[in-house]
Chain A
Amino acid sequence: MSDPKAETTVLLVEDEPLNTTLTVAMLNLIGIQRVHAFASWKQLKACLDALPPIHLVLLDLRLPDNQDGYYILRQLRADPRFAETPIAAMTAQVMPEDVKRAEEAGFDGFLAKPLNFDRFPYCIQRLLAGERVWESH
C-alpha cells in the first residue's frame, strides 16, 4: 500500500523564493511531493482552473500588489472547490493582533515563521486531518 501522502497536494503562495524552496523541502521530507507554489495571486489566478484538487493551502500573508494572504483567502473561499479545504497562514507577522486577525479572517491554521522544524510534520498532519493548528511564536 502506497503512502497516502504521495497523493496529497499542497498549494503554496509565497513570494520569497528561499522560503518556497524551504517549505517544499520540508513538505517533501514528510512525504508530500505534490506542491504547487506561486509567488502572487496574479500567478495563482492564471492557473487556478488548471489545478488538481488541493488538500491543503499554505498562504504567506505579506504579498505584493495589495493582494495579500487575506485577499487570497477570500478569493479561494469564494471558490466552491476551496470551501472545505484547510487553509493555513504561514507568516512572520506574529504580533497578537496579527494572530487575532488571522483567526477572525477564517484561517484554519497559523504557522509562525521561522517554522518549527520538529513540530512542522505534526502541524501539517493535523491540518490535513481537518484540525485547527495555532502555532504562534
Chain B
Amino acid sequence: MAAEIALNAQKAGHVGTRTGLLGFLERLLGRRQRSAADLARLTGQYQSPLGDLPISVTDLALRLAGQADAQALLHQAAEWLIERSGVACVVIYLHEMAANRLARPICVGVQLTDLPETIKLGYSIYGEVALGRRHYYIESVAREKRLAPVPPETQSAYILPLLHENQLLGVLGLYAVRPLALSEPSRAAIDRVATLIGALLSTAYRLSESQQAIARFDRFQRLAQDLTARLSSQELLQRIVEAARAILDAQMSILLDVNFESGELRPVAWSGIDRETALLIRSRLKEDLKGLVAWARLPARTPDIRTDQRTSLATQAIVAGMVSELAVPVLYYDELYGILAVQTSTYRNFTDEEVDLLQSLAAHAGIALRNARLFEALEQRNSELQKANAALEIARQQAENARAAAVQANRLKTEFINNMSHELRTPLNAVINFTRLVMDGHAGAVTEQQRNYLNYVHEGGQHLLGLINDILDLAKIEAGKMELRREPTPLVPLLKGVMSTLIGLTKDKGLALHREFEDNLPTLNIDGRRIRQVLLNLISNAAKFTAQGSITLRAVQQGDQVIISVRDTGVGIKPEDLPKVFEEFEQIDNALQETASGTGLGMPISRRLVQLHGGEMWIESQLGVGTTVSFSLPVG
C-alpha cells in the first residue's frame, strides 16, 4: 500500500511537471499539445502481464516522457528493449521527412559497424518496411540475404515501422540470438512498444520544435527591440530579411514591395544573395507563388519550387540551388505592402510555426514599410507646403503690389484732380472776373447786346467753376477728406437765407417760392455752409425742371430729426429713372432737356453731404405732377 502511494506520488509529480511545461508551451504557441501523461493513459491498455517479456509499457512511458532529445529518447528506448526483451541488438533509423529517407541510425547492444548512414525509402529491408509500413519478421536471417549487416550469431530479426498518427517517424530493427526473444507474443509486445516509441518520438519532436520556438521567440523578441530602436526604414528592412534568413535557417530571404498600379513586386531588401541576383527576382500579382501570396494575402509554402504547380504557371526567377520556399504577405492591418519570402537549398517542409514566425517578422516589415511610405508622404506634403507657402508669399506680394499700386493710383488721381483744379481755376479767374469788369461797364460803356453776350461768357465760366467744385467735393468725399465744420446753427435763418438767395432765380422763371416751416425749428449741430449748398442745389434743380407753378421749401421736426423737403410742380421723373438720380454723372432725360443742364454731380454730392451729417436723402416723384426731394438731419 505504501509502495503504491509512493508510485502515485511519483506519477503525480511527473504529470505535474509535464502539465506545467506543456501548459506554458500551449500558451506560447496557442496550440494544443498532447502530454506524456495522456500518452501513458493511451498506451496503458497494452499493459499486460507477459511471461517471457516483462514489458510494462507504462513503465517505459513514464521513463521516457519529457525527453525532448529524439536521439537520447531512442537510445533509452533501445536499451530498455534490450534489457527487457532479451534481443542482442536494436537499430533505429529516423525518417527525414523533407528528404524522404531514413537516416541517423542508432545502434544499441551489439554494435554494427557497417550500418548505412542513409537509406532511401523502398530500398533494402528498412526502406521497404518504411515505404510499405509493414512489419517484417525474419525467422531465419540466414535466408534473408538482403538484411545486412547483422550481428554475429543472429537467428532472427524483426523490422517494423515507427508510426504515429499515420506518420512514419522511423524504422525499428531488433536482432535476436535467442529465437524466443522474437516469438509471436514478444513481437506483439514489441509492436506495442513501437507504438509507444512512435508516440514518444512524435512528442519529443514537438517538444523540440517548441523549445526551438521558444529560442526563436527569444531571438525574435531581441530583434524586435533592436528594430524599434532604429530609424532608417531601409536599414530596418535589411535587418528583417537577415533575421528571417537566420531564424528560419534559410539560404536566402527577400522582401518585395508591391505596386498596385503596375501590379509589380519589386525587391527592396534581401539577404543571402547578391544585388544582381536579387534584382532579377521580380514578380507580378497572381503570377507565381509570391504573386499569389500578394494577391491572396495568405502565406504559401512549397517544398520544391521547381515542381510546384503554382510556380510553374509563370516564369519565376529561380535562384540557383534553391529548393523550398516560404512566402508571407507583408501587411499593415488590411493593407498590403509587399511580401517576405525565404528559400532553402535543402528540401524542406515549412511548419505552421515557421509560417507564424515569418508572419511575425513580416508584420514588423509592414510597420517599417508603412513608416517609410508615411515618411515619403510627409516629405512630399512638406515640399507641397513649401511650394504653397512660396505661392502664398507671391500672392501676398502681388496683393501688396496691387495695394501699393492702388495707393499710388489714388495719390496720382488726387494729384491730378488738385492740379486740374488749380490749372483750370487760374484762367477761370481771368475769364469770370474780366467779364464782370467789362459787363458791369468798368471798362467803358457796353451795349445791351454786348452785355447779354458777356453774360453768356460769365455763366459759362460760372458753370465750369461749379463743375470743378463739384468734382473736388466728390473727390474729397471719396478720399474721406470731406471735413464738416459743425457748429450750432439755427435752422430758420439758414432756410430763410437760402430762400432769399434764390428768390431772384425763381422770380425770373415766373415761379412762386413758398415757405412751409414754423419759426420754432431747432438749432442743429451742422456745417451750415454744406447744408446751404445742399438746399441751393435742390432748389436750383427744382427750378430747372419746373416750367410753371411753384417750389415749396418745407421743414418739420419729427422726433429727434428734422425733415426738410423741396417740392416742385415740375415735369416729374419716371419711376424707373428715380434710382439714377443719386448716381454720379447721371442726367435724367426729360421734356425740359433744353433747360436741364448741370454737372450730374449735384444730387450725389448733396446726398453724401447729408449722409456725412448722419441723415438720409430720398426722392418721390410723379410724372407730370412734380417731384419732392427730402432729407433728414438729426437733432442734437
Contact = CB atoms under 8 A, between A and B. Distances in A.
A96 B423 CA distance: 17
Interface stretch (B434-442, B506-514, B516-524, B569-577): B434-442
B124 interface: no
Interface stretch (A17-25, A32-40, A41-49, A51-59): A17-25
B476 interface: yes
A26 interface: yes
Contacts of A95: 418, 421, 472, 476, 481
B34 interface: no
A38 to B, nearest CB: 18
B318 to A, nearest CB: 93
Interface residues of A, number: 20
Contact of A22 (B429, B472, B482): B429
Interface in A1-34: 16, 18-19, 22, 25-26, 29
Interface in A67-83: none
A122 to B, nearest CB: 15
A29 B425 contact: no
A98 to B, nearest CB: 8
A96 B472 CA distance: 10
Contacts of A115: 429, 433
Interface in B524-547: none
A96 B430 CA distance: 23
Contacts of B432: 114, 117
B425 A96 contact: no
B476 A114 contact: no
Contact of A19 (B430, B472, B476, B483): B430
A85 interface: no
Contact of A96 (B426, B434, B483): B483
A94 B433 contact: no
A101 interface: no
Interface residues of B, number: 25
A18 B481 contact: no
Contacts of B498: none
A97 B481 contact: yes
B469 interface: yes
Interface of B is mostly: helix
Nearest to B434: A22
A25 B436 CA distance: 11
Interface of A is mostly: loop
Interface in A89-124: 92-97, 112-115, 117
B465 A93 contact: no
A132 interface: no
B430 A18 contact: yes
Contact of A26 (B421, B425, B433, B465): B433
A62 B422 contact: yes
A95 B461 CA distance: 20
A137 interface: yes
B429 A114 contact: yes
B428 interface: yes
A66 to B, nearest CB: 17
B117 to A, nearest CB: 116
Nearest to A114: B429
Contacts of B442: 25, 29
A117 B433 contact: yes
B428 A114 contact: yes
Counting chain A CB atoms within 10 Å of each CB, the highest count among B418, B429, B436, B469 belongs to B429
Contacts of B483: 96
A27 B461 CA distance: 21
Contacts of B425: 92, 94, 112-114
A112 B481 CA distance: 19
Contacts of B461: 114
Contacts of A62: 422
A137 B433 contact: no
Contacts of A25: 434, 437, 442
Counting chain B CB atoms within 10 Å of each CB, the highest count among A26, A96, A113, A137 belongs to A113
Interface string B385-425: 00000000000000000000000000000000010011101
Contact of B437 (A26, A94, A96, A97): A26
B472 A92 contact: no
Contacts of B469: 137
Nearest to A62: B422
Counting chain B CB atoms within 10 Å of each CB, the highest count among A22, A94, A113, A114 belongs to A114
B481 A29 contact: no
A94 B476 CA distance: 11
Nearest to B424: A92
Interface in B278-335: none
A19 B481 contact: no
A94 to B, nearest CB: 7
Contacts of A96: 476, 481-483
Nearest to A99: B483
Contacts of B418: 93, 95
Contacts of A18: 427, 430
Contacts of B472: 94-95, 137
B421 A16 contact: no
Nearest to B469: A137
A114 to B, nearest CB: 4
Given A62-B422, A95-B421, A113 B481 contact: no
Nearest to A95: B418
Q: Which 4 pairs between the two chains have the least Cβ-Cβ distance? A: A92-B425, A114-B429, A113-B429, A117-B436
15 contacts: A16-B426, A19-B426, A26-B433, A26-B437, A92-B422, A93-B418, A94-B421, A95-B472, A96-B476, A96-B482, A113-B429, A114-B433, A114-B465, A115-B429, A117-B433
Interface of A: 16, 18-19, 22, 25-26, 29, 62, 92-97, 112-115, 117, 137
Interface of B: 418, 421-423, 425-434, 436-437, 442, 461, 465, 469, 472, 476, 481-483
